Structure 1
C-alpha cells in the first residue's frame, strides 16, 4: 500500500470530525482507491486457490463511517480501512478473511469464530468432543503457529454445561470465540510485497476458516 494511505489515517485519528474529513476528501478518496487496488489484487490471487465466485471489490470493503447511535464514542469515522474477503464478501454471514489497515503497527489479518449463536457454539463443542484432532492438526501446525501463534477471544470461566471438568479438550470446549490474528508493521504495509504477504497468510488461514465454516454453517444437523 501507499505510505500516504497510512499518513491519511494518522491524520484522521487526530482530526476525527466531519468538517476536517470533508475538507480533506481528496486524501480519503486516494486512500480508498489504494485499498480498492489491494483488495482487487487479493481477490485475484486468493481466487487461484479458493473459489470466490464473482466477488467484487465493493462487496468486500467496509464503510469508514462509524455507527455512533449506541456508542459513547461519537467520533464519526473509523481510524482504519477494512475489508472482509471470502465467498459472498463482507455480508456473507460466514467466516471470512478480515483485513484491517491502521497506522501505529496496528494492521492485521484475522479470521475465526467470533459472533456466534448458542446453537453454533453447541455444534462447535460437539465437534471438539467428537474429534478435536482435526482442528488441532490445523492450528498446531508449524507454519500456522508461526503466523498465528495465539488464540484470541472470550473463554468461559466455568465448564460448559454437559462436559466434565477433566475433559481432555476442556480448554477448547470453554472457548466462546476462536479467532486468529497476524499483525503487520507500518513498514510491511507500505512495502511492495505487502499484497503477497497477505495472500500467503490467507493461504495458511484457509484450512481453519474452511473447518469453522463447515462446523458452524454447513455440517448437517444430527437427526
Structure 2
C-alpha cells in the first residue's frame, strides 16, 4: 500500500555500499528484506508522494510505485562491466506516468551522489530540431526561460554539447544561442545533500526544485506541440 514518504532508512546508503562490495545475487536475496524496508519501499513512497504534490502544483508530472522506478539490476548484455547491480536507485515522473515520455523529473539516490533533474533528455530528432529552431526564431522566449531558471538558482547543463554547430545553424552569431543550439538535451539539476534523504523534508526540497524548473518544462511543452503537429 502507498504511504506518505517519511524518509529513507538509516541503512539505505550502507546497503548500497554492501551490495556494491558483494555484487552477488545470493547476498542480495539474503538481504532483500533490508533492501525493501530501507530503500525500495521508501523510494516507492517518495514517488507517490511527489506525484500527489506535483498534481496539486499543476506541474503535469506523475508516477507510481510500479512503473516509475528503474530496476536495481543492471542490464549487462552489451556491457563489458558485468556487475549485476547498480550503485544507485532512481525513478522518473513524467506527463503520462511512463518512462517513455519527454519533459520529465528524475531522482537518483546513489553512492557517488544524490540528485534530481528536470529534463528534455535526448529528445527525438524532430523535437530536437524544433527546439533548435525555436531558439533561433524566438530568442526572447528562450532567454526569458533561462532568466527564470537563474532566478531560481538553476542553469541549463552544458554536458554533452556538440563541439560544432549542427547543420543548418552554422550562422547563429549570438554566443548564448549558439551554445544552446549545440545542446543534445536540455537539463537542470539539483544536488541533494545525502544527509537529508532520511527526512520527509526531502519532498519539499524536490517540489521547490521542480517548481523552479517549471519554465524549462513549459518552454519545451510549447515547442513539443508544434513539433507533433508539423
TM over 0.5: yes
- For 2:145 and 2:99, locate their aligned partners in 1 and report how far apart those are by CA, in whole Å: 26
- For 1:117 and 1:220, locate their aligned partners in 2 and report how far apart those are by CA, in whole Å: 10
Partner residue of 1:81? 89
Question: Out of 26, 35, 47, which is 1:19 matched to?
Answer: 26
Q: What root-mean-square deviation, in Å, do the aligned CA atoms of Structure 1 and Structure 2 show?
A: 2.2
Flag the 1:112–1:22 CA change in 2: closer, same or farther, 3 A.
same
Question: Out of 80, 90, 101, which is 1:93 matched to?
Answer: 101
Does the 8 Å CA contact 1:68/1:74 hold for their aligned counterparts?
yes
Partner residue of 1:65? 73
Establish whether residue 190 from structure 1 lines up as the match of residue 198 from structure 2. Answer: yes
CA displacement at 1:220 relative to structure 2:
5.0
Segments of 5+ residues of structure 2 without an aligned counterpart are 1-6
Give CA deviations for 1:174-214 in whole Å, capped at 9, x if unaligned.
22222211111211222341111011111111221232233
Establish whether residue 163 from structure 1 lines up as the match of residue 151 from structure 2. Answer: no
CA displacement at 1:51 relative to structure 2:
6.1
CA displacement at 1:116 relative to structure 2:
2.5
Q: What secondary structure does 2:98 align onto?
A: helix
Flag the 1:125–1:24 CA change in 2: closer, same or farther, 3 A.
same
Question: Out of 183, 206, 209, which is 1:201 matched to?
Answer: 209
Establish whether residue 112 from structure 1 lines up as the match of residue 154 from structure 2. Answer: no
Flag the 1:23–1:182 CA change in 2: closer, same or farther, 3 A.
same
Moved segments of 4+, more than 6 Å: none
Segments of 5+ residues of structure 1 without an aligned counterpart are none
